[in-house]
Amino acid sequence: MQLKRADVVTGGLALLDAEGLDGLTMRKLGAHLGVRAGGIYWHFRNKEALLGAMADRIVGEVTATPLPLGAWDARLAEMAHRIRRALLAHRDGARVVAGTYVTEPNTVRGGQQAVRVLTDAGFPLDRAGWVVFAAMYYVLGHTIEEQAQRAEGDWADRGADLPDTELNRAMEAVVRADPEERFTYGLELFLDGVRLRLAEVRP
Amino acid sequence: MQLKRADVVTGGLALLDAEGLDGLTMRKLGAHLGVRAGGIYWHFRNKEALLGAMADRIVGEVTATPLPLGAWDARLAEMAHRIRRALLAHRDGARVVAGTYVTEPNTVRGGQQAVRVLTDAGFPLDRAGWVVFAAMYYVLGHTIEEQAQRAEGDWADRGADLPDTELNRAMEAVVRADPEERFTYGLELFLDGVRLRLAEVRP
DNA sequence: ACCTGAACACCGTTCAAGT
DNA sequence: ACCTGAACACCGTTCAAGT
């Protein structure tokens, strides 16, 4: 059976889960697919293009099922949580997605959906775009660190050589906290700002 | 003259500016320093450790000059802007810093300073840590994309193949907007949330 | 203490040639 | 159309040996 573009993406994600982003090489992927490394280049211009397609597949989970109806802020929060979960579903998923840019179909669809949630609520179109990008930066940053922490078991020891001051203990407590709760907290700070702006525009 | 740890970091940053993160190799850095690649390993355990030291030097700019006195939110905003500027001062600076973790001295000092700004304002210590990390995710995410955009001149063409709908034009307008203005807007959304939380705790 | 020389075990990418 | 074989130009890291 001949290889299709989608098979390469599927194989890439399987290899990603098995070896992580740093272990994802064209040679290993070729072996996994029963092909020499060079053969992949018939399907993808280069490794970056393949990673872009993988990223779009990961992000595709977000728009796979329709967003539940409800208040705009609940819908936006739901989207943010879905993105986080989609990224967490694959090893180094956040790093893969962070390294690619907006032009793939699922990513574009997701961005548009988020913008529409805001404009439907009365938010001006241009500022809605700014809000969506800003939120995405937060989600990516948070999840990248979550996965970095998950990868290295020795994260609890980070800063073990630091003096035991109240401040240092507070910093260490951050990385020991429940990631989901911490994610939600930061997301809500952000949404508070959006709510205020919306109240100004449409009182 | 013999090489010191600090010289390797300085040379690393010079090479980073010249070649970007992907062009920063141990061999090229060795050549730049008048040393074989292997020689660097006497000063740093591996490349990751070197990048960590470079990241801390970049971030060191933030605490180099004392924070002006004033309201807590103005001080926090000033720190965020300083971090952004420090990252922008070196090619791929944001990616370098995002790839390292909290334990280097300047990074720790900066984090502590930010936490103290919040606790001095009456914010509880543990939540202050959450806020500082969340803000850092936003700053890093924003600046990574800013620098990716700066690197590839063809960013304006991204999505040129997309249908010319109102939504797509809005998305494209985001990347064409003034980055500093966009950065400030997102930061303020975030600070609005913090202000609200502070008003709850200490009315 | 600080670095060289040389090797080890890899990379991404290209491209004539095969089927 | 789809892939092989083989090469090109690199990597990070290690380590005996030199000074």
pLDDT tens per residue, range A36-91: 999 999 999 999 999 999 999 999 999 999 999 999 999 999 999 999 999 999 99
CA nearest to nucleotide D6 C1': residue: A38
Of B115, B131, B137, the CB nearest to A141: B137
Q: Where are the domains of chain A?
A: 5-45, 63-201
Low-confidence ranges of chain A (pLDDT < 50): none
Nucleotides in D strand less than 7 A from protein CB: 2-7, 10-16
pLDDT value of residue B201: 80
CB B151 within 8 A of CB B113: no
Encode chain B (203 residues) as per-residue pLDDT tens digits.
Answer: 788 999 999 999 999 999 999 999 999 999 999 999 999 999 999 999 999 999 999 999 999 999 999 999 999 999 999 999 999 999 999 999 999 876 889 999 999 999 999 999 999 999 999 999 999 999 999 999 999 988 876 666 676 677 778 888 888 889 899 999 999 999 999 999 999 999 988 76
Say whether domain B5-45 belongs to CATH 1.10.10.60: yes
pLDDT value of residue B156: 65
CB B77 within 8 A of CB B191: yes
pLDDT value of residue A162: 76
Residue B131 CA to residue B108 CA, distance in Å, equals: 15
- Of A72, A201, A134, which is closest to residue B141 (Cα–Cα)? A134
Contact criterion met (CB < 8 Å) for A129 and B171: yes
Task: Report if CB A5 to strand D is under 7 Å.
Answer: no
Contact criterion met (CB < 8 Å) for B133 and A182: yes
DSSP A175: H
In angstroms, the separation between the Cα of residue A1 and the nearest Cα of chain B is 32
pLDDT value of residue B30: 98
Residue B100 CA to residue A45 CA, distance in Å, equals: 30
Residue B65 CA to residue B59 CA, distance in Å, equals: 12
CA nearest to nucleotide C7 C1': residue: B38
Contacts of A128 in chain B (CB under 8 A): 170
In angstroms, the separation between the Cα of residue A161 and the nearest Cα of chain B is 9
pLDDT value of residue A156: 65
Domain B5-45 matches domain B63-201 at the CATH topology level: no
Contact criterion met (CB < 8 Å) for B162 and A103: yes
pLDDT value of residue A155: 65
pLDDT value of residue A3: 85
pTM for the full predicted model: 0.95
pLDDT value of residue B202: 72
Residue A154 CA to residue A149 CA, distance in Å, equals: 8
pLDDT tens per residue, range B91-135: 999 999 999 876 889 999 999 999 999 999 999 999 999 999 999
Topology of the domain comprising A63-201: Tetracycline Repressor; domain 2 (1.10.357)
